[in-house]
Amino acid sequence: MPAHTFQTSRPLRGTIRVPGDKSISHRALMFSSLAIGESTIHGLLEGEDVLATAAAMRQLGADIERTGEGDWRVNGAGLGSLLEPKNALDMGNSGTSTRLLMGLLASHGFASTFIGDASLSGRPMKRVIDPLGQMGASFEASTGGTLPLMMRGASPAVPITYRLPVASAQVKSAVLLAGLNTPGITRVIEPVETRDHTERMLTGFGATLEIGEHNGERLIAIHGEAELKPQNVIVPGDPSSAAFFMVAALLVPGSDIVIENVGMNRTRAGIVSALRQMGGSIEEVNAREVGGEPVADLHVKHSPLQGVDIDPAIVPSMVDEFPVLFVAAALAQGTTRTTGLDELRVKESDRIAAMAAALNLAGADVEEHEDGLTIQGTGGEPLKGTPKNALVKTSLDHRIAMSMAVAGLVSRDGVSVDDITPIATSFPTFMNLLEGAAA
């Protein structure tokens, strides 16, 4: 396991580009594989999670080929014409791949087995098993509804109306994808709006969706037995990856960077609003729309930050960015309070506990609650850093590793993390970009 120490940084300068959006990359591969004909994808994130999706779609009959850096060609198998996989579908560390593929295969009449790494095998799948079971799929899961898991899809599946018990874009997407190959209309009601990449991209590929309201909640209806048409997909930069550089530039004195081509979908870009609320200087330049998704270049300059109370309503639009927001809070002036973060307890790790332990080890003042953290900031003073021979436990979680890398840039003695290999699951170029920006 490669441990690594992140040291105090010189100002971050220049223009950088973060990898393609992970959520959109997964969906681009899946939906291209369901269209009949040849699609192209530009800017695909080539991290391990997305490559697990590509490998699974190949097993299901799609012809997928990498033609250059971030450039891929997909000849789809066609919706309803997927092949029964000969081997178990190995999802690696990717919860998104697993939940979306379970949805997709729930309305195909064959059996599939899903396996994953130790971290993924501890994550709850019951939240998708329940609605997909109502549609007719059957499951044999490990104790606690986790992987390894065997599923038999229903053909034909039964359309349902499903109200999400927790705000989850993955559960919503799983039900909508099951509805794609189900006769009739499948409906999902979400009490809180979550990221809407599935709805935008399915519409782009030619599916019929209607979005309306039901008793003040968002209702999404998808018409089954869709015929998807091949597309040329351009993937915007991942706001979750950009967040690490936004926070680093806000915290490291003298920094002034431009992050190009960042997806600014309002169901995803909550981190920008939260950092601006803290006083961060983040300016959107050259705002435009690419492939149905809003995109902008972000000009970020070092700024003194203020502690704030983060509105829990913003959580779904930045659920993956809280670990790095906690780092920003640790160096702000005053107190930052976060609540409503229960979902963070069931990510790649328990991110509330992991970040509380990591930041306290690095010298921050952090108090853990059931659904969030209260952080007393240093007012811009560097963190002390991790004690000699002590390592931050990343728990195989890429976002913990990258968040604590950012903390190391603003520490006196550096921050040592136990393992940086998980970073490759979502951001393979992170280390090189960080070195380049600080050079």
Per-residue pLDDT 10s for the chain (439 aa) are 699 999 998 999 999 999 999 999 999 999 999 999 999 999 999 999 999 999 999 999 999 999 999 999 999 999 999 999 999 999 999 999 999 999 999 999 999 999 999 989 999 899 999 999 999 999 999 999 999 999 999 999 999 999 999 889 999 999 999 999 999 999 999 998 899 999 999 999 999 999 999 999 999 999 999 999 999 999 999 999 999 999 999 999 999 999 999 999 999 999 999 999 999 999 999 999 887 789 999 999 999 999 999 999 999 899 999 999 999 999 999 999 999 999 899 888 899 999 999 999 999 999 999 999 999 999 999 999 999 999 999 999 999 999 999 999 999 999 999 999 999 888 999 999 999 999 8
Three-state secondary-structure class, residue 325: helix
Catalytic residue list: 320
User: Same domain for 191 and 242?
Assistant: no
* DSSP alpha helix (H) spans, 340-379: 351-361
User: Same domain for 211 and 304?
Assistant: no
The binding site comprises: 22-23, 27, 95, 123, 168, 170, 320, 347, 351, 399
User: Same domain for 311 and 396?
Assistant: yes
> Residues 30, 33, 34, 39: what is their CA dihedral angle, to the nearest 10 degrees?
110
For residues 234 and 42, give the distance between their C-alpha atoms in angstroms, rounded to a whole number: 5
Residue range of the domain that includes 152 = 22-234
Final residue of a domain: which of 234, 263, 290? 234
For residues 97 and 53, give the distance between their C-alpha atoms in angstroms, rounded to a whole number: 6
What's the CA angle centered on 113, arms 106 and 37, to 5 degrees? 60
User: Same domain for 86 and 51?
Assistant: yes
User: Same domain for 184 and 310?
Assistant: no
pLDDT in tens, 51-86: 999 999 999 999 999 999 999 999 999 999 999 999
Buried/exposed 54-84: b ≥16 CB within 10 Å, e otherwise: bbbbbbbbbebeeeeebebebbbbebbebee
Final residue of a domain: which of 218, 234, 250? 234
State how beta strands 372-376 and 4-6 pair.
unpaired
User: Same domain for 197 and 309?
Assistant: no
pLDDT in tens, 283-298: 999 999 887 789 999 9
- Bridge partners for 71 per DSSP: 42, 68
For residues 177 and 202, give the distance between their C-alpha atoms in angstroms, rounded to a whole number: 9
User: Same domain for 137 and 53?
Assistant: yes
pTM metric for this prediction: 0.86
User: Same domain for 336 and 387?
Assistant: yes
Three-state secondary-structure class, residue 59: helix
CATH of the domain at 191: 3.65.10.10
Three-state secondary-structure class, residue 408: helix
User: Same domain for 207 and 291?
Assistant: no
Q: Which of 428, 401, 426 is nearest to 3 (CA)?
A: 401
User: Same domain for 65 and 157?
Assistant: yes
- The answer to whether the beta carbons of residues 352 and 372 sit under 8 Å apart is yes
User: Same domain for 146 and 283?
Assistant: no
Q: Give how far Cα 276 sits from Cα of 87, 235, 365, 388, Å.
A: 48, 25, 22, 35
Final residue of a domain: which of 184, 210, 234? 234
Omega before 148 within 30 of 0, i.e. cis: yes
Q: Which of 24, 57, 56, 53 is nearest to 41 (CA)?
A: 24
- The answer to whether the beta carbons of residues 407 and 369 sit under 8 Å apart is no
User: Same domain for 230 and 249?
Assistant: no
State how beta strands 372-376 and 365-369 pair.
antiparallel
Residues 6+ apart with CB under 8 A from 215: none
In total, how many domains does the chain have? 2
Query: DSSP state, 392?
Result: B
Three-state secondary-structure class, residue 92: coil
